[in-house]
Amino acid sequence: MAGRLDGTRILILETREEAQFSRLLADQGAEVLQCPMVAIVDAPDPAPVAAWIDRLIAAPFDDLVLTTGEGLRRLTRLARSLDRERDFVDAIGKTRRFARGPKPGRALREIGLDADVTTETPTSEGIAATLAKSDLRDHRVGLQLYPDKDHAALIGAVEAQGAVVDAVLPYAYDARAAEENVVTAIEEMAQGRVDAIALTSSNQLRRLFDVATARGYEARLREGLDATPIASVGPVVSDELRHYGLTPAITPPEGAFFMKPLISAMITSLNRRASRTAPSS
């Protein structure tokens, strides 16, 4: 990447996948304003989660699949509140542990354990492909799920190998609890305190407008977007922008619709903009 983003303030609308994007921007010197679009809360009904913990402790699973670090941390906290944390950790130690990418691995190390297998691709499809390399016939497989995802295909793939799946969903997303984050982000843009907003999914834009409309902030949002360069990761996001009557100011090269090319395009555009507005000596 030529140049850097030193001195810029970049707004990102945070979902699960945005942590890497935030790190990449910060590595280029940007001050990243993260706007969580949802709040993470414990499962509304803790009873099924506690029952899953009890089953794990009573008869440790043959295999345990952890899809998120957040999920393991929530399970550990609930076990602690039930005065079962030591038994919970001991039971996990008796399983073969699969981690969907590095984040569950980090959460395992926090309780003194390691992943036996880490998927190369941190997706449900990556988990299924990794598990397909193991003999799961007659295995009891504990599966920690995460919200806003249809896990039927993953569960079906594991069951198709002859395993019995015992799934748990230890947390939920609360969109309403995060609305104040969105209002704050709108104000930051409207007051000219953001150098660019970077969008990596069309859902982010829809959520932004949904909250603005519900809170009577749509005019203020449009004011902020008019004043703030919009960086779009690719054509799907750009089409959604046009649906709202907006045009991206920054896009990556054709066919390079990924985070790093988007950041390169942002560096080029924002540095060019800064050079145009810099006072001449």
The secondary structure of 14-33 as a DSSP string is E-TTHHHHHHHHHHTTPEEE
Residue 102 and residue 124 in contact, taking contact as beta carbons nearer than 8 Å: no
In the predicted structure, residue 225 carries a pLDDT above the cut 80: yes
Which of 3-12, 64-73, 252-261 has the lowest average pLDDT?
252-261
Residue 11 and residue 273 in contact, taking contact as beta carbons nearer than 8 Å: no
Find, among 12, 8, 41, the residue nearest to 208 by Cα: 12
Distance, in Å, from the CA atom of 8 to the CA atom of 25, rounded to the nearest integer, reads 10
pLDDT digits (tens, 9 = 90+) for 122-161: 788 889 999 999 999 999 999 999 987 889 999 999 999 9
pLDDT digits (tens, 9 = 90+) for 231-281: 999 999 999 999 999 999 999 998 888 889 999 999 999 999 888 776 665
What does the pLDDT average to over 190-207? 92
Distance, in Å, from the CA atom of 234 to the CA atom of 11, rounded to the nearest integer, reads 17
Measured from the Cβ of residue 179, the count of other Cβ atoms closer than 10 Å reads: 20
Domains within the chain, CATH numbers bracketed: 9-38+175-277 (3.40.50.10090), 41-173 (3.40.50.10090)
pLDDT at 1: 44
Distance, in Å, from the CA atom of 30 to the CA atom of 64, rounded to the nearest integer, reads 38
